[in-house]
Chains A and B, each alone.
Chain A
């Protein structure tokens, strides 16, 4: 009796393990010459800023077509590009989201792993905000304030540098409050981090003439000076989960959080964005470009996988459709700053034509 039940359990196990993955709808089998060993679900990784948009499109795509809903993981732009460029094949993602443009070194890495044709898709625009809980007062910061509050080394007033010892906002700028500097931001895997150091930190760093001059003479030192963020308790790396940062802001009214505009919009009832150089972070200001810390959002697709994994082309079609990323689309409702009609049509044509990326 025992042997029989053991045998039975082994058989059931075998059968259940075989279940799942193999069932494909007939319509797909005829359209795409998929190999029988490939997986049939799109794998997406990457930016936590693009994550809310990618997941919304993925969900709508899954519900309105017979393809499986793509799996989306939030790894950070840098982390995602690393996974993306690690190779072709089922164990590697098909698409990676990025809240900054792919860098030349990453394209090189992709090429090293036999990935030559990458399709770049621009999604829209986004602003990076420094927000705090509505329970506190709104802060008015200048880029210089941001740099002085967060850099690892700051100017010492006589042409040199000293380690950052500012503890309160008042230390940085007498016009600001005496609250302790407590900023939660993304780790280096995040595109938001890259964009923040390039736009905000560097923007504030440049206001010192001698540092600006350094850019021409020693670019590496300039970058290191402007991009390095302090590592004490005043800047806390809060991981790739922007939702969590919003929650922590609710619990700690003194802290500021760095994240994308969509998170500000979706939680406007509990958090507020600080004005940067007197510009409040609003939809209009970011779309016009007058808010100083705004950037474009992208995602990258392996052209080779479009034929291997069912549904990628249709996913692209859904993402670039007017109802999704158009000026009145559902992504705009989620906080995406969409491209204007002309730009959107241009990108739509290039993406649906699967034109490979050319970095100039």
Chain B
């Protein structure tokens, strides 16, 4: 007797050990997956966090009327186009007077961003009373200065391997000692459109472009999706046409997104001649892509509404339409909205189809409507990712953080809606 008790308990030990190992495999798999997630997020935050600050240099500028507006016309256009370089150089020289040669003065001037003079121009055009006075202004520094202040340029590396030379660093130190160079919150990232210069590049244009595209997408996909789902669930009889529609929807859900872009290119752009690179076409393409998701999600919500609701309404004398639209749909609406929000979140992150319809140009202005040329946030990320300037690397990461923030927000909204308004039948 003792023999097989010992052998079974050895066997049991082996079996329990195997179970323990197996559970660990599962845990390790989950751990690795989440580790990837954490790794990605930290890599992006590490690269992007510094973009939320931008270096600015403060100078006392004398807005000399004789240089800027000799005819005293106070015309905003002329004021914007006036030559601000001499007064800026004058101010720089008052801080660092030892710069005498013309070449060196040009280098000193280059510590500032090329956009700084345009900022000045806009400032004066907005408020011409400033002419003739002297004021302290914070001006945007160039990308190299900014990177140096953020510690991303190593001053010990040999001089010809970097764009910021030793003389520049000397001058920066002088400015630092006078408290004239500081890192401030980077408003430009959120108020500007794209730019050639990293320090002036912002995501507002792309964000508004995304907003308009999603607006068009929602306005097309939501009603069409809901109506189709309602038809298929409530009205349609089981016949060949209904089956055909269902098969179509399931297939569309599986088509790669780039094919929708080609559809947009060949039919909406080439055949219908809709304006290229606009949120209008982008929205239509995204709507067609999101439609199957919304339909499938809405159908499952409608299916979960108990038959008793419909029977009760019909029993009280309601017509089919009244039953559906006054009773079933309002009950299903929270769930359908959740599905739609999740579909929109996916559409927000789509890049490939928008590349095909041309939203890849260099666009500086902020779009004002759906027929204005625009780009979208993920496409902007794609375009910036190609730029090797270090200033753009941090901006690309920052833009990714903003995009992810929007997505997480949308997902939280959807989950919140689901929890608050869901009803258990």
A219-277 with Cβ < 8 A to chain B? 241, 243-244, 246-247, 250, 266-270
Residues of chain B with a CB closer than 8 A to A73's CB:
358, 360-362
Question: Quick one: given A17-B369, A21-B371, A71-B363, are A269 and B162 in contact (CB under 8 Å)?
Answer: yes
Residue of B nearest to A270 (CB): B388
A65: which of B81, B361, B386 is its contact (CB, 8 Å)?
B81
Cβ–Cβ contact A9 & B219, under 8 A: yes
Asked whether A66 is an interface residue with its Cβ less than 8 Å from the other chain, the reply is: yes
Cβ–Cβ contact A59 & B223, under 8 A: no
Cβ–Cβ contact A20 & B369, under 8 A: yes
Asked whether B191 is an interface residue with its Cβ less than 8 Å from the other chain, the reply is: no
A247: which of B219, B369, B388 is its contact (CB, 8 Å)?
B388
Asked whether A359 is an interface residue with its Cβ less than 8 Å from the other chain, the reply is: no
Residues of chain B with a CB closer than 8 A to A17's CB:
280, 369-371
Cβ–Cβ contact B216 & A71, under 8 A: no
Residue of A nearest to B369 (CB): A20
Question: In this complex, which of B162, B329, B363 has the most chain A Cβ atoms within 10 angstroms of its Cβ?
Answer: B363
Q: What is the CA–CA distance of A16 and B215 in the complex, to the nearest angstrom? A: 10
Question: Quick one: given A21-B371, A65-B81, A243-B387, are A72 and B361 in contact (CB under 8 Å)?
Answer: yes
Q: What is the CA–CA distance of A241 and B387 in the complex, to the nearest angstrom? A: 9
Residues of chain A with a CB closer than 8 A to B367's CB:
20
Q: What is the CA–CA distance of A22 and B81 in the complex, to the nearest angstrom? A: 25
Residue of A nearest to B121 (CB): A64
Asked whether A280 is an interface residue with its Cβ less than 8 Å from the other chain, the reply is: no
Residue of A nearest to B215 (CB): A16
Asked whether B341 is an interface residue with its Cβ less than 8 Å from the other chain, the reply is: no
B364: which of A65, A69, A323 is its contact (CB, 8 Å)?
A69
Asked whether A103 is an interface residue with its Cβ less than 8 Å from the other chain, the reply is: no
Cβ–Cβ contact B80 & A64, under 8 A: yes
Q: What is the CA–CA distance of A19 and B212 in the complex, to the nearest angstrom? A: 11
Interface string of B307-348 (1 = CB under 8 A from A): 000000000000000000100010000000000000000000
Q: How far is the CB of A323 from chain B (nearest CB, A)?
A: 8
Cβ–Cβ contact A266 & B389, under 8 A: yes
Asked whether A164 is an interface residue with its Cβ less than 8 Å from the other chain, the reply is: no
Residue of B nearest to A57 (CB): B196
B372: which of A2, A20, A55, A270 is its contact (CB, 8 Å)?
A20
Q: How far is the CB of B280 from chain A (nearest CB, A)?
A: 7
Question: In this complex, which of B277, B280, B362 has the most chain A Cβ atoms within 10 angstroms of its Cβ?
Answer: B362
Cβ–Cβ contact A71 & B361, under 8 A: yes
Cβ–Cβ contact A247 & B386, under 8 A: yes
Asked whether A60 is an interface residue with its Cβ less than 8 Å from the other chain, the reply is: yes
Q: What is the CA–CA distance of A2 and B362 in the complex, to the nearest angstrom? A: 41
A1-37 with Cβ < 8 A to chain B? 2, 6, 9-10, 12-13, 16-21, 23, 27
A interface: dominant SS: helix
Asked whether B127 is an interface residue with its Cβ less than 8 Å from the other chain, the reply is: no
Number of inter-chain CB pairs below 8 Å: 105
Interface string of A45-56 (1 = CB under 8 A from B): 000000110011
Interface string of B348-367 (1 = CB under 8 A from A): 00000000001011111101
Residues of chain A with a CB closer than 8 A to B372's CB:
20-21
B57-109 with Cβ < 8 A to chain A? 77, 80-81, 83, 106
Q: How far is the CB of B110 from chain A (nearest CB, A)?
A: 7
Asked whether B20 is an interface residue with its Cβ less than 8 Å from the other chain, the reply is: no
Q: How far is the CB of B392 from chain A (nearest CB, A)?
A: 9
Cβ–Cβ contact A64 & B118, under 8 A: yes
Cβ–Cβ contact A56 & B196, under 8 A: yes
Residues of chain B with a CB closer than 8 A to A323's CB:
83
Asked whether B178 is an interface residue with its Cβ less than 8 Å from the other chain, the reply is: no
Cβ–Cβ contact B163 & A269, under 8 A: yes
Q: How far is the CB of B159 from chain A (nearest CB, A)?
A: 10
Cβ–Cβ contact B196 & A71, under 8 A: no
Residue of A nearest to B76 (CB): A66
Cβ–Cβ contact A27 & B77, under 8 A: yes
Q: What is the CA–CA distance of A71 and B194 in the complex, to the nearest angstrom? A: 11
Question: Quick one: given A269-B162, A269-B163, are A13 and B216 in contact (CB under 8 Å)?
Answer: yes
Asked whether B160 is an interface residue with its Cβ less than 8 Å from the other chain, the reply is: yes
Q: What is the CA–CA distance of A328 and B389 in the complex, to the nearest angstrom? A: 23
Cβ–Cβ contact A62 & B364, under 8 A: yes
Cβ–Cβ contact B219 & A268, under 8 A: no
Q: How far is the CB of B373 from chain A (nearest CB, A)?
A: 5
Cβ–Cβ contact A59 & B388, under 8 A: no
B373: which of A9, A41, A247 is its contact (CB, 8 Å)?
A41
Residues of chain A with a CB closer than 8 A to B370's CB:
16-17, 19-20
Q: What is the CA–CA distance of A253 and B276 in the complex, to the nearest angstrom? A: 39
Asked whether A58 is an interface residue with its Cβ less than 8 Å from the other chain, the reply is: yes
Cβ–Cβ contact A19 & B163, under 8 A: no
Cβ–Cβ contact A6 & B223, under 8 A: yes
Asked whether B411 is an interface residue with its Cβ less than 8 Å from the other chain, the reply is: no
Q: What is the CA–CA distance of A244 and B384 in the complex, to the nearest angstrom? A: 10
Residues of chain B with a CB closer than 8 A to A244's CB:
386
Residue of A nearest to B205 (CB): A69
Residues of chain B with a CB closer than 8 A to A41's CB:
365, 373
Cβ–Cβ contact B219 & A330, under 8 A: no
Asked whether B273 is an interface residue with its Cβ less than 8 Å from the other chain, the reply is: yes
Q: How far is the CB of A253 from chain B (nearest CB, A)?
A: 14
Q: How far is the CB of A8 from chain B (nearest CB, A)?
A: 11
Interface string of A290-317 (1 = CB under 8 A from B): 0000000000000000000000000000
Q: What is the CA–CA distance of A113 and B150 in the complex, to the nearest angstrom? A: 54
Question: Quick one: given A21-B371, A64-B80, A269-B162, are A71 and B388 in contact (CB under 8 Å)?
Answer: no
B196: which of A21, A23, A55 is its contact (CB, 8 Å)?
A55
Q: What is the CA–CA distance of A96 and B360 in the complex, to the nearest angstrom? A: 17
Residue of B nearest to A330 (CB): B114
Asked whether B50 is an interface residue with its Cβ less than 8 Å from the other chain, the reply is: no
Q: What is the CA–CA distance of A255 and B197 in the complex, to the nearest angstrom? A: 27
Q: What is the CA–CA distance of A13 and B363 in the complex, to the nearest angstrom? A: 24
B149-208 with Cβ < 8 A to chain A? 160-163, 195-196
Q: A2-B325, A267-B389, A328-B106 are in contact. List 19 more A-B contacts (CB 8 A).
A: A12-B219, A17-B369, A17-B370, A20-B370, A21-B372, A27-B77, A59-B364, A60-B114, A63-B80, A63-B121, A64-B81, A64-B121, A72-B361, A73-B361, A73-B362, A244-B386, A269-B162, A269-B163, A270-B388
Please list 9 pairs of residues, one from A and one from B, whose beta carbons are closer than 8 Å in the complex, sorted by A's number: A9-B219, A18-B369, A21-B371, A60-B118, A64-B81, A69-B363, A73-B360, A269-B160, A269-B162
Q: Which 6 A-B pairs have the closest CB atoms?
A: A20-B369, A19-B369, A69-B364, A20-B372, A73-B361, A63-B118
Residues of chain B at the chain A interface (Cβ within 8 Å): 77, 80-81, 83, 106, 110, 114-115, 118, 121-122, 160-163, 195-196, 212, 215-216, 219, 223, 273, 276-277, 280, 325, 329, 358, 360-365, 367-373, 386-389
